[in-house]
Amino acid sequence: MNHAVLLTGLPGAGKSRFKQAFAKQAPLVPVMELGLANEPSFQLSSFEAIKVWCLIDVRSKLEDTAAEHVLQRMLAQASGVVLSFVDQADLMAQSYWQAWLADNVGSQTDCPRFRWFSTGLPSDWDWQSFGHDQPVETVIDSLASFSPMAHYERVTFAYDYAQGANPTNLEHLLLGLDASRQNLGMEIWRVQGVVKTTEYVNPVAIEGTVNRWDTFAGELDNELGHLRIEGLNLDKAWLQQIMDASVL
């Protein structure tokens, strides 16, 4: 059988990273990602059946009700569950997700779990037998409401440092985004970008999900910085004010 794989999961669950790792092991297998912001770019109609693997980032607890409901619906359509970033998760977070999966998957035998370490995939992983193949027509119907998801938005900010753009105060930026979540009802589900900051000499990469913030050393492309914010109920004018205030 010719295999194909569709990756689902909340924004930031590691779908792109997993896709890259899987391509090293099975380079001829088509792998698609389910996005929430845009119309689906993949064409499932050329396949008769497909495996649906739902990725779950287990590094932090999930405390957003709307995101949890979306994940539950994705999980209900999954052939298998990939627990991502396991090597970066503490025991409390792993215990939380074990209990959560017990409540939401239970003992159903047709939805196996795979613990993925971000260092790579084991060469002996029998992915062909991981999760059953589903008819494509069924998958398209069941996941249609997710891609694009109603009212899911994406806002992008650009910084041209070659033209004199000021660096960002990272602490002020993250505090402003947290305040937008807590006080203004914005459901910020994904933040990605690379910017120059007032705190560090080297550029900083920012990775945010509905659960957590991560910052680490980044690289600029031709002195161009960017920040992309995704989610629900985004106030674009307010976000612009946060960006402006963070570079003063």
Secondary structure (DSSP) of 90-110:
-HHHHHHHHHHHHHHTTT-TT
Can you give the residue ranges of every domain in the chain?
5-146, 152-246
Instruction: Quote the CA–CA distance of 23 and 25 in Å, as a whole number.
Output: 5
Pairing label, strands 49-57, 80-84: parallel
Residue 153 has pLDDT above 80, yes or no: yes
Q: What is the mean pLDDT of residues 51-64?
A: 95
CATH of the domain spanning 5-146, picked from 1.10.1200, 2.60.120, 3.40.190, 3.40.50: 3.40.50
Are the C-beta atoms of 230 and 153 separated by less than 8 Å? yes
The confidence score (pLDDT) of residue 41 equals 43
Write out pLDDT tens, residues 17-45: 999 999 999 999 999 998 886 655 456 77
pLDDT-wise least confident of 21-25, 43-47, 131-135, 233-237: 43-47
Vertex 89: Cα angle to 88 and 95 (nearest 5): 160
Residue 214 has pLDDT above 80, yes or no: yes
The confidence score (pLDDT) of residue 224 equals 93
Encoded amino acid at 26, one letter: A
Residue 108 has pLDDT above 60, yes or no: no
Q: Which fold does the domain 152-246 belong to in CATH?
A: Hypothetical Protein Yjia; Chain: A;domain 2 (3.30.1220)
5-146 against 152-246: fold identical: no
Closest CA to 18 of 36, 28, 31: 31
Residue 46 has pLDDT above 60, yes or no: yes
The confidence score (pLDDT) of residue 29 equals 93
